[in-house]
Amino acid sequence: MSYTSFKKIIWAHCRKHGRHDLPWRQTHDLYRILVSEVMLQQTQVERVIPFYKAFIKKFPTARRLAQASLSDVLKAWQGLGYNRRAKLLREATQQLVHTTLSGTRLNLIKKLEELSGVGPYTARAVAAFAFNQDVIFIETNIRTVITHHFFQKRRKVSDKEIEKILTAVLPKGKSREWYSALMDYGAYLKRSGIKLNTKSKHYAKQSAFAGSSREARGAILRVLSTKESTAVHLTNLLGPDRCMQTNGALEDLVSENLVKIRRGVYSLAD
């Protein structure tokens, strides 16, 4: 397929089916876009929307989030999962309020990557959606789109090969619109039954939630978001057969400073 034909397909789908109503697409605000990108990590769009709206209502600016206690932030995040993201996001805003983001594109990305929890993908996504910078990045929907149109007969496709295509088709000065369109089209392909990320060299299947340490961590934080508790109560939340796993999850939460212990009583960190 020619690059021109490919771009016509993406733009046509965008005009007809684009998710222009997504709340993070209604803003160019760096902080609000950063919040959406962190929330969207390993979490589906429809699940994120209500959490995003409630979180932004409670913490409308980076300064408000930076000044909030960690326990308040974790309570607002409760139910979204991967709670360490909330801690890192708060730390990122504490750095952000003292950072001037200006200069060249490379300098912007470098400064974004210096924020807690912000890696190469998130930095470039924020650069595209908040600053409309002509950057190259890949996520699961984008990978599906490129693989479907350019590598259908290949079994293992590297991200470098996908990046080469993305570089060639990127419409200069329209990065924000383009990546939104690519992601929407990729989501459409997946809903249609086209799931090609297993053909990627970088594909790793996410482990099941039920029975996982993530489930144990979530159960602990759910209790602590309402009251303090003891180790005996917390480690038995998922039944006696999972006490060792839940105890390990509790120890991890303490070591990550998401949970604190004082005189044998556990609570959310300050």
Q: Name the pairing type of β-strands 259-262 and 229-230.
A: unpaired
Catalytic residue ranges: 37
Domains of the chain: 29-131 (1.10.340.30), 137-199 (no CATH), 213-268 (1.10.10.10)
pLDDT of residue 154: 80
- The closest of 222, 134, 213 to 179, measured between CA atoms, is 134
Handedness of CA 32, 37, 38, 39 (dihedral sign): positive
Predicted confidence (pLDDT) per residue in 88-99, tens digit: 999 999 999 988
Predicted confidence (pLDDT) per residue in 227-260, tens digit: 999 999 999 999 989 999 999 999 999 999 999 9
Q: What share of the chain is helix, strand, coil (3-state, %, to 5)?
A: 60, 5, 35
Strand order, beta sheet including 265-268: 229-230, 265-268, 259-262
pTM for the whole thing?
Answer: 0.85
Residues of the chain with pLDDT under 70: 102-104, 195-207
pLDDT of residue 201: 56
pLDDT of residue 205: 61
pLDDT of residue 102: 66
